[in-house]
């Protein structure tokens, strides 16, 4: 047995109290969403901060507590994700200022695409963008401002349209070889004998066919339920024609640059950098915007605005929420509650067979993901060592563990309506748009309309109970869980 590390911080009441900040976070988020119908990332920011403050009251070494919280930024590679948000914010603002939405309206009018057909169009488009984005949460903040406004005008049912965009993001990420979620998962799951990580090619081959079938079934549902009221469509036809602008399609050039470079180099930062710079040039040359739209100073009111500042500022809510979330994860890890849970599971009677171990891995991934607002990557990072230890002990191949974990982290556990960062983030984006033609969309309506994630839940059940796993012919050395402190 490996020597177990002592918790870096201690709580009154024992190691179990290290989970208190996350429990408070979930509770307040649920109260705001269910009790007060307040749907926004800002509610999660407040909930996270209160959770951390309550945790501070119960910790013994108070002077070290905030060092642990701040350390969460580097411990889980959060700084990289934060910078991704900022670049995505600028790039998205570039596309919006370049009127890409009006370009899609023009294209939809020419192709006579509206209602349910537009919903399917948005699903496929968000799939493509997500394949190049590398991270689902980053892709969401790109596709919603682009495809949601024209979709509402073109007669798409708002909740179903959002469900299609969110579904496309998860489906596209599942197909992307540069996905942070996929690469992180396969690199944390190892073979018990060779210690080699899971094989990316095998994981893709085993899961892609059924994921494509799931996406096709989702599109059928989007077609059936994607139409809004016909009267609403007729009333918006004139407005649609007025907003249609073919020059907005020039903004597809930086989008293409982003996807091409990201696919080729598997480096989202490189793709965003070139795409943004080329987008500035394209926008200026095409007349889509002026230099003052990139950076504008107003000395009279001491204000600065434009694509760069407004783009970064639009990501403040999700950025702060993510920083606090990773702080809570660090408290749970360094407080010893994760180690405690790991030891309890490994020593329990739940792991008598390989099937029981698979169920524990799947349910554990899902529960942790729900607790961490469905952010996918943090949940996988936090649970990966436990899954690796359990899987090696029960001879479950790293490939099977990988697609089980990815599937469980991207099904309904990612879109729980009371605290999902994806759902709350989308509602925050829509509210900040201030669209006159928009309607109020609740998190519960989005949850019920995200057909790909809902169907993927049944796929995970199929993988667990009906998809057979090849038995390996070696026995691993038993060992305990280690602290998950590595970054990706």
Per-residue pLDDT tens digits for 120-166: 999 998 898 888 666 788 788 888 988 898 888 888 999 999 999 99
Is 415 exposed, middle or buried (CB count within 10 Å of its CB: 0-12, 13-18, 19+)? buried
Enter the pTM of the model.
0.77
pLDDT in tens, the chain (488 residues): 445 567 888 999 988 999 999 889 888 888 887 777 777 778 888 999 999 999 999 999 898 999 898 888 775 556 777 887 788 889 888 988 888 878 888 888 888 888 899 999 999 988 988 886 667 887 888 889 888 988 888 889 999 999 999 999 999 999 887 787 888 888 889 888 888 888 888 888 889 999 999 999 999 999 999 998 655 555 566 677 777 888 888 988 998 898 888 778 877 788 889 999 999 999 999 988 999 899 988 877 778 889 999 888 888 887 888 888 888 888 988 898 878 887 887 777 777 788 888 999 999 999 989 988 888 887 887 788 788 888 888 889 999 999 999 999 999 999 999 888 899 889 888 887 766 655 678 999 999 999 999 999 999 999 999 877 654 444 444 455 555 443 33
How many CA atoms lie within 13 Å of 288's alpha carbon, on the beta-carbon side? 30
The residues near 196 (Cβ < 8 Å, ≥ 6 apart) are 190, 398
Q: Give residue limits of the domains in the chain.
A: 15-466
Tell me the backbone φ, ψ of residue 270, rounded to 5 degrees: -65, -45
CA 266 to chain centroid, in Å, comes to 18
CA 290 to chain centroid, in Å, comes to 33
Q: How far apart are CA 170 and CA 150, in angstroms?
A: 22
**Farthest-apart Cα atoms in the chain, separation:** 75
């Amino acid at each position: 047995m490996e020597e177990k590390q002592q918790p870096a911080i201690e709580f009154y009441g024992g190691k179990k109290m290290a989970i208190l900040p996350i429990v408070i976070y979930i509770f307040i988020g649920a109260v705001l969403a269910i009790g007060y119908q307040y749907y926004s990332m800002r509610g999660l920011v407040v909930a996270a901060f209160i959770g951390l403050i309550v945790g501070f009251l119960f910790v013994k070494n108070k002077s070290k507590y905030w060092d642990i919280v701040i350390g969460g930024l580097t411990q889980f590679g959060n700084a990289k994700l934060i910078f991704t948000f900022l670049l995505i914010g600028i790039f998205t603002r570039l596309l919006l200022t370049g009127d890409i939405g009006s370009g899609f309206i023009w294209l939809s009018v020419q192709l006579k695409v509206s209602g349910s057909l537009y919903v399917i169009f948005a699903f496929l488009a968000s799939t493509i963008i997500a394949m190049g984005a590398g991270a689902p949460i980053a892709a969401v903040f790109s596709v919603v401002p682009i495809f949601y406004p024209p979709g509402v005008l073109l007669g798409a049912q708002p909740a179903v349209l959002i469900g299609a965009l969110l579904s496309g993001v998860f489906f596209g990420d599942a197909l992307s070889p540069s996905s942070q979620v996929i690469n992180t998962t396969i690199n944390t799951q190892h073979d018990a004998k060779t210690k080699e990580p899971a094989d990316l090619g095998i994981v893709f081959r085993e899961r892609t066919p059924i994921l494509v079938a799931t996406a096709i079934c989702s599109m059928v549902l989007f077609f059936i339920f994607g139409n809004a009221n016909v009267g609403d469509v007729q009333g918006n036809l004139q407005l649609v024609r007025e907003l249609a602008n073919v020059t907005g399609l020039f903004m597809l050039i930086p989008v293409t640059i982003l996807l091409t470079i990201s696919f080729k180099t598997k480096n989202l930062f490189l793709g965003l950098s070139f795409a943004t710079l080329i987008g500035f040039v394209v926008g200026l040359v095409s007349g889509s915007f002026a230099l003052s739209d990139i950076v504008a100073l107003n000395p009279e009111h001491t204000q600065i605005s434009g694509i760069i500042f407004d783009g970064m500022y639009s990501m403040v809510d999700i950025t702060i929420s993510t920083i606090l979330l990773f702080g809570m994860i660090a408290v749970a890890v360094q407080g010893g509650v994760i180690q405690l849970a790991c030891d309890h599971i490994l020593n329990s009677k739940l792991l008598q067979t390989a099937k029981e171990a698979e169920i524990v891995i799947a349910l554990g991934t899902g529960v942790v993901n729900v607790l961490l607002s469905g952010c996918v990557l943090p949940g996988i990072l936090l649970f990966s060592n436990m899954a690796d230890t359990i899987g090696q002990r029960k001879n479950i191949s790293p490939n099977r563990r990988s697609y089980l974990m990815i599937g469980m982290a991207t099904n309904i556990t990612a879109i729980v309506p009371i605290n999902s960062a994806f759902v709350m983030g989308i509602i925050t984006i829509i509210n900040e748009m201030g669209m006159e033609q928009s309607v109020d969309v609740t998190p519960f309506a989005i949850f019920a309309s995200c057909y790909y994630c809902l169907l993927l839940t049944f796929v995970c059940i199929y993988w667990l109970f009906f998809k057979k796993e090849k038995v390996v012919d070696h026995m691993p050395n038993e060992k305990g869980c280690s602290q998950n402190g590595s970054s990706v």
